[in-house]
């Protein structure tokens, strides 16, 4: 009988893995591996360390499926790899245990539902954008006001800082800096 190894992941440094770690320990995890990484990246040193540590018969425990992967294909690939190595997956929130046939089936059903939901959201977003365009709206970033940009460049040429020019004209600071670079304006005072 193998041990239970926990895996906790948060997306940003502002978040804390303590809550996940506590739940995993209460669920019997003898060791918990952690990552502070976005789910979009596959670079997860904590998960890699867990997989290097795990042996046949062990169980990988997570609080929720989204801690292990963001997409259905990513989750299915991970579960297939775990199965090949003789490692079970337990998700506390979804009450899934791939050590049993029923648990494996439930995992696939939940994964398919999550994938379906993401596709629906993407389709609704696309439909919303198309409807807005049909009403004459143009979703997304509005084009820059050429007159404001010209005025900002004149102010910078006259010696005002790009930050002050942006504030005065209601433009974004980074926008003014970008336009100053594009225009090739030398903002440094020339030595006499």
Average pLDDT over the chain, rounded to whole?
A: 85
As given in the structure block, the two tokens for residue 88 are: 């079970």
Q: Distance from CA of residue 156 to its chain's centroid?
A: 38
DSSP code per residue over 51-75 = HHH--TT-EEEESSGGGT-SSHHHH
Residue-wise DSSP of 89-111: EEETTTTEETTSHHHHHHHHHHH
Q: Is residue 91 flagged as an active site residue? A: no
In-domain check, residue 172: yes
Does one domain contain both 158 and 89?
no
| 52 domain-assigned | yes
Q: What is the pLDDT of residues 143-161, one digit of tens each?
A: 888 898 999 999 999 889 9
Claim to verify: residue 92 and residue 162 sit in the same structural domain: no
Residues 79 and 162 in one domain: no
Q: pLDDT class for 191, splitting at 50, 70, 90? A: very low
Domain range for 174: 146-183
- Report d(CA 149, CA 55) in Å as an integer: 62
8-34 core/surface letters (b: 16 or more CB in 10 A; e: else): bbbeeeeeebeebbebbeeeebeebbb
Q: Are residues 98 and 157 in the same domain?
A: no
**Cα 82 from chain centroid (whole Å):** 23
Q: Please identify which of the residues 11, 38, 100, 161 carries the catalytic annotation.
A: 11
Residue 117 forms part of a structural domain: no
Does residue 113 sit within a domain? no
Domain check: are 91 and 152 in the same one? no
Q: Are residues 93 and 163 in the same domain?
A: no
- Do residue 84 and residue 8 come from a single domain? yes
- Residue 188 pLDDT greater than 60, yes or no: no
Predicted TM-score (pTM) of the model is: 0.56
pLDDT at 1 over 70: no
Q: What is the mean pLDDT of residues 65-79?
A: 80
Of residues 79, 121, 122, the one with CA closest to residue 104: 79
Give per-residue pLDDT as tens, 97-141.
988 888 878 767 866 777 788 888 889 989 988 888 899 888 877
- 48 within a domain of the structure (yes/no): yes
């Amino acid at each position: 009988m193998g041990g239970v190894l926990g895996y906790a992941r948060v997306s940003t440094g502002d978040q804390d893995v303590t809550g996940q770690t506590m739940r995993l320990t209460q669920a019997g995890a003898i060791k918990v591996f952690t990552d502070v990484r976005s789910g979009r990246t596959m670079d997860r040193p904590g998960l890699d360390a867990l997989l290097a540590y795990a042996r046949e018969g062990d169980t990988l425990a997570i609080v929720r499926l989204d801690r292990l992967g963001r997409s259905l294909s990513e989750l299915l690939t991970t579960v297939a790899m775990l199965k090949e190595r003789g490692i079970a997956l337990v998700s506390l929130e979804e009450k899934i245990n791939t050590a049993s046939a029923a648990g494996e089936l439930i995992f696939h059903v939940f994964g398919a539902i999550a994938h379906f939901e993401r596709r629906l959201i993407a389709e609704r977003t696309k439909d919303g954008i198309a409807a807005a365009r049909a009403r004459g709206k143009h979703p997304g970033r509005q084009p820059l006001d050429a007159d404001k940009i010209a005025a900002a460049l004149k102010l910078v040429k006259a010696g005002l800082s790009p930050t002050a020019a942006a504030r005065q004209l209601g433009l974004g600071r980074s926008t003014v800096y970008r336009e100053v670079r594009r225009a090739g304006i030398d903002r440094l005072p020339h030595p006499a």
